[in-house]
Amino acid sequence: MSPALLTLFGVGIAYLAALFIVAYAAEREWIPAHWVRHPLTYTLSLGVYATTWTFYGSVGLAANQGFMFLTIYVGVTASFLLAPVLLQPLLRLVRDYQLSSLADLFAFRYVSPWTGWLVTAFMLIGILPYIALQIQAVVTSAQVLTREAPPGVLAAGFCITVTLFAVLFGARHLTPREKHEGLVMAIAFESVIKLVALLACAGFALFGVFGGFGGLSDYLLAHPQAVERMQAPLRESGSWTTLCLLAFAAGFLLPRQFHMIFSENIDPAGLRTASWAFPAFLWLLNLAIPILLWAGQELHLDVPTEYYALGLAQRESSGLLTLLTFVGGISAASAMIIVESLALAAMCLNHLILPLWVNSGAAPSQDLYRRLLWGRRALIALVIAIGYLAYISMQRSTGLVQLGLVSFVAVTQFLPAVVGMLVWPRANRVGFLAGLCAGMSIWFLILAWPLLIGTPSPLQNLPLHERDPWLFATFWSLGLNLLLFVLGSLLARPNAKEQAADQACRMDAVTILSEAPQAGGVGELRLRIEQALGGDVAQAELRRALTELKLDAGERRPRQLHFLTERLRRNLSGLIGPQLASEVLAGRQNEQSMRRHLVEEELEHSQDRLRGLAAELNRLRRFHRQVLQDLPIGVCSLGDHGEVLIWNERMAQIAGLSADQVLGSRVRELPPPWREIFSRLLDTESAHLYKQPVHLRGGLRWLNLHKEAIAGDGESAQLVLLVEDLTEQQQLEAELTHSARLASIGTLASGVAHEIGNPLTGISCIAQNLLDEDDAGERRQGLDDILEQSRRISDIVQSLLSFARPSAPARDLEPLELHSLVKEAARLVRLSRSGRNIAFDNRVPEALIIDGDRARLTQVFVNLLGNAADASPPNGRVEIEASRGAASVTISVRDWGSGIPEELLGRIFEPFVTTKLPGQGTGLGLPLVYRIVADHGGSISVDSRVGEGSTFVLRLPLAPDAALGILT
């Protein structure tokens, strides 16, 4: 090797070493993280698009075809300016579903065992010539500089060095899900080197050769054909649009572009910046090309046109520009090879190697992560090695641009499928596979055949062959591809998996959960992963997914298991590709009802992507959902299999269980006492259960429960359960009853004073007489009279105390003798002024027994007898009768008083309705009577005529023993 060659070799190695240092510094955070993650760094990393084709080949293309060389960058500009509708949806898919390559993306959407395999194979075939030409460019650049044929060790050394870099910084982490910040920083660095080198060369050409802008203008004025040769091809050739289309597709479909744009994207905001900044970078880069061309032509450089940059740089006396330009060429080549090999290795691993291994039935590996990592590394080396072999075997006369365009036509075959996945629900695997196979076949026959075989294409006589060759090749390959894609998609139907994937892909649809197979529990999921990938992977992946979703290993709720399965699928997709991930997790298919109701979850997640009618419907859905949430009554809806689908906020308050704790659980899985309460409600024939006592949170609550079936779309009916908490209402009623009772006592106060006063006066008189009485018999009689009066006072006080005692919150039902109850009430009413002179005729049989609350029923009769006394004339009569029915007792309270006007009769049991003068009655007595009677399971009615009196008729259930007595 000559000294000059040795120097170039050394410079190349030194540059690649610098690249290692940059990548390492970024990984170790010696370079600040905000620089590494800056949108401009991301933008510059996309400069991997500009290979030696740009650095060297564009000048050659400009010499032959004028401004046609700009098509390769204008086309990319178009695809990036369309980022919001083209690139950002793809980025969302890649991030959401952890798709690590183009093959993953197609395998996700066009679900077929063949998809990933074919995409990988076609990419390998289409891109390998492109890799070969990079190696060729590096070797040729050394040859141009040293004027001697470089030995094969130069190419081999270059390939080994870039392989080392790609392995160390592109396959660094155990899983491909991790981002490689060192790689991104290194590629960005290389883009800066390329830009600086080209602009430095152009600057030298402008100022060193032409003497500045004025000199360039003078040269162009003197040589108008120089500009005409640049412009004429655009006017005369029809290739501009074709080449722009090819570049449009290549801008994001080339594996290296896909890898840097999507797989290594750290922040989606970076793409928004790159959508204009990357075209700006390309614009700057290409400013240099015409200047380099004209300077080279002016100097009549003795180097191939493609290498005018090197030839010009050699004119710079210090030699630094030469080295910089050479390094620029190495940058362009190495960046392309590194990233392309990473991308192709990922595809080969996920879609060629792993499917064979998993489906071979081989025992799962104990250390799968490490094996995958080393597998990727081996494949990177293999891809570069194959590229090297292709370089050796290739026709050396093939130009850089020609090889590059061959690859561009190959990747453009994927364009119909990408557009279809974003906008056409009907696109399916049949159309995709048919179109792709046809397109690639035509591509091979027209473009690859002459390169590999060395003979003209078998299709060279097809129409349009006399036109531009790229138009010819693109028209036939892409045209047939598109035709079969459309036909195949129309003739076949997307399967269920494709439909789910389609809804995730399309721009105007929300992201919904895919058809995640149902799992019985976390253990079942672990088993599925373990069977395919080994115990270590199963444990690690489950731990990761459970942590991300904040679930635990005992999770059994169907809804949460669905989310867990989906999360595992996505995470495994990032590890082994979507196709294998789905196969590993395959199980029973999910029920439609669960998937349908889980759509709401995804609608909440995706609502900012809804547009038009979908957005309006979603707003309506959220409004109705909010109404349900805010209802003051507990709402719980059950799905087809009794699983809880809705659990509103009021229900959560009543039950003390949040929605997250119960959603998805079946009724039998709910914590007590709800399991029993709802089971009882579901089992009963009646749609209502009233006043159910429930012990909750240490206290007794009273609940009304209701159920209703909801039929929908012909499917099995679902149920909605409503829960009313009556506890506060019950407490209020108890307080009202107590207050009414105290109020009654208040009205009795003057009567009580009178009734107690009489016996006290009697006692006082008798005691007075006893002082002077000597006769023992008279004394005895006097003492007996005192005792009698004392008992009379005691009875009155005892009645008052019993009546005033508040009812216990629980319904203390006891057997009560109806006759005694009425007698007690009559005694109390007689204490009042209006009741004192009324004759209460108690005709209730003494054998009648009812179950009831003594105090509350006494209140009932006190109110009824009190009202009857108030309505009766002085010395009037109130008659109380009772008779026994089969299971109930009918009691009537009749007076011959003023009666109730007809217009009030229908409302007499409503609150605040009274026939009494203001201040004499509150109108709450009869409503209270009504409520108490209803609580005892009875009923009350009234018959009244003005001037003739009123009859209140009560029906109360007999005590069970009393009823039994009837039957026996």
Q: Of 253-261, 276-284, 458-466, 727-735, which part binds another protein (CB under 8 A)?
A: 276-284
Residue 308 token pair: 């005018």
Residues 5, 8, 74, 123: which binds another protein (CB under 8 A)? 74
Q: Is 731 in the site for another protein (CB under 8 A)?
A: no
Residues in the chain: 968
Q: Is 916 in the site for another protein (CB under 8 A)?
A: no
Residue 353 token pair: 């190697």
Residues 2, 231, 547, 589: which binds another protein (CB under 8 A)? 231
Binding residue count for another protein, defined by CB under 8 A: 38
Q: Of 83-91, 156-164, 656-664, 850-858, which part binds another protein (CB under 8 A)?
A: 83-91
Output 85 or 627, the one with its CB closest to another protein: 85
Pairs from 764-768 (Cβ < 8 Å, separation ≥ 24): none
Q: Is 252 in the site for another protein (CB under 8 A)?
A: no
- Counting DSSP H helices and E strands in the chain, the numbers are 42, 12
Who's near 372: CB < 8 A, 6+ residues apart? Answer: 174, 175, 176, 349, 575, 576
Output 231 or 547, the one with its CB closest to another protein: 231
**Cβ at position 560, least distance to another protein in Å:** 33
Output 33 or 280, the one with its CB closest to another protein: 280
Residues 126, 129, 255, 279: which binds another protein (CB under 8 A)? 279
Q: Is 611 in the site for another protein (CB under 8 A)?
A: yes
Output 235 or 780, the one with its CB closest to another protein: 235
Output 506 or 884, the one with its CB closest to another protein: 506
Q: Rounded to whole angstroms, how far apart are CA atoms 937 and 954?
A: 11
Q: Of 268-276, 451-459, 761-769, 885-893, which part binds another protein (CB under 8 A)?
A: 268-276
The residues with which 708 forms a beta bridge, in sequence order, are: 720
**Cβ at position 96, least distance to another protein in Å:** 17
Output 290 or 439, the one with its CB closest to another protein: 290
Output 117 or 262, the one with its CB closest to another protein: 262
Output 235 or 588, the one with its CB closest to another protein: 235
Residues 7, 64, 88, 820: which binds another protein (CB under 8 A)? 88
Q: How far is CA 256 from CA 79, 164, 411, 491, 824, in A?
A: 16, 18, 12, 34, 99
The residues with which 705 forms a beta bridge, in sequence order, are: 689, 723
Name which of residues 289 to 328 contact another protein (CB under 8 A).
290
Q: Is 423 in the site for another protein (CB under 8 A)?
A: no
**Cβ at position 629, least distance to another protein in Å:** 25
**Cβ at position 484, least distance to another protein in Å:** 27
Residue 186, Cβ density class (10 Å: 0-12 exposed, 13-18 middle, ≥19 buried): buried
Query: Amino acid identity of 774?
Result: D
- Taken in order 167, 168, 171, 174, the sign of the CA dihedral is positive
Residues 13, 25, 40, 81: which binds another protein (CB under 8 A)? 81
**Cβ at position 234, least distance to another protein in Å:** 5
**Cβ at position 612, least distance to another protein in Å:** 4
Helix (H), strand (E) at residue 968: none
Tell me whether the omega of the peptide bond preceding residue 673 falls within 30 degrees of 0, making it cis.
yes
Output 265 or 807, the one with its CB closest to another protein: 265
**Cβ at position 184, least distance to another protein in Å:** 22
Q: Is 228 in the site for another protein (CB under 8 A)?
A: yes
Output 613 or 967, the one with its CB closest to another protein: 613
The residues with which 881 forms a beta bridge, in sequence order, are: 843, 892
Residues 223, 272, 315, 467: which binds another protein (CB under 8 A)? 272
Residues 4, 14, 287, 767: which binds another protein (CB under 8 A)? 287
**Cβ at position 195, least distance to another protein in Å:** 16
Q: Rounded to whole angstroms, how far apart are CA atoms 820 and 799?
A: 12
Output 103 or 230, the one with its CB closest to another protein: 230
Residue 392 token pair: 């050796």
Q: Is 230 in the site for another protein (CB under 8 A)?
A: yes
Q: Is 623 in the site for another protein (CB under 8 A)?
A: no
**Cβ at position 507, least distance to another protein in Å:** 8
Q: Is 612 in the site for another protein (CB under 8 A)?
A: yes
SS3 assignment for 389-429:
HHHHHCCCCCCHHHHHHHHHHHHHCCHHHHHHHHHCCCCCH
Q: Is 277 in the site for another protein (CB under 8 A)?
A: yes
Helix (H), strand (E) at residue 894: strand 888-895
Residue 140 near residue 326 (C-beta atoms within 8 A): no
Residues 362, 613, 771, 810: which binds another protein (CB under 8 A)? 613
Who's near 801: CB < 8 A, 6+ residues apart? Answer: none
Phi, psi of 724, rounded to the nearest 5 degrees: -105, 130
Q: Is 221 in the site for another protein (CB under 8 A)?
A: no
Q: Rounded to whole angstroms, how far apart are CA atoms 41 and 180?
A: 13
Query: Amino acid identity of 216?
Result: L
Q: Is 82 in the site for another protein (CB under 8 A)?
A: yes
- Taken in order 763, 764, 765, 769, the sign of the CA dihedral is positive
**Cβ at position 95, least distance to another protein in Å:** 17
Q: How many CB atoms lie within 10 A of CB 275?
A: 20
Output 283 or 912, the one with its CB closest to another protein: 283
Q: Is 85 in the site for another protein (CB under 8 A)?
A: yes
Q: Rounded to whole angstroms, how far apart are CA atoms 876 and 897?
A: 8
Residue 645 near residue 639 (C-beta atoms within 8 A): yes
Tell me the CB-side half-sphere exposure of residue 932, using CA atoms within 13 A. 30
**Cβ at position 202, least distance to another protein in Å:** 13
Residues 20, 276, 449, 475: which binds another protein (CB under 8 A)? 276
Q: Is 620 in the site for another protein (CB under 8 A)?
A: no
Q: Is 207 in the site for another protein (CB under 8 A)?
A: no
- Write the interaction track for another protein spanning residues 125-164; mark x where CB under 8 A is met and - where it is not: ----------------------------------------
Enumerate the H helices of 492-557 as residue ranges.
496-505, 522-533, 535-549
Output 274 or 958, the one with its CB closest to another protein: 274
Name which of residues 30 to 69 contact another protein (CB under 8 A).
67
Smallest CA-to-CA distance from 309 within 476, 140, 431, 475 is with 140
Q: Of 80-88, 386-394, 657-665, 956-964, which part binds another protein (CB under 8 A)?
A: 80-88
Phi, psi of 112, rounded to the nearest 5 degrees: -160, 145
Q: Of 239-247, 338-346, 654-662, 829-837, which part binds another protein (CB under 8 A)?
A: 239-247
Output 240 or 563, the one with its CB closest to another protein: 240
Q: Which string of DSSP letters, residue by residue, matches 728-774? A: HHHHHHHHHHHHHHHHHHHHHHHHHHHHHHHHHHHHHHHHHHHHH--
CA angle 425, 96, 583 (to 5 degrees): 75
Helix (H), strand (E) at residue 463: none
Q: Rounded to whole angstroms, how far apart are CA atoms 914 and 902?
A: 13
Helix (H), strand (E) at residue 846: none
Q: Is 84 in the site for another protein (CB under 8 A)?
A: yes
Q: Is 632 in the site for another protein (CB under 8 A)?
A: no
Q: Can you tell me whether residue 33 is helix, strand or coil? A: helix
Residue 523 token pair: 């253990």
**Cβ at position 82, least distance to another protein in Å:** 5
Residue 208 token pair: 């060193």
Contact residues toward another protein (CB under 8 A) are: 67, 70, 74, 77-78, 81-86, 88, 220, 227-228, 230-232, 234-235, 240-241, 244, 272, 275-277, 279-280, 283, 286-287, 290, 611-613, 615-616
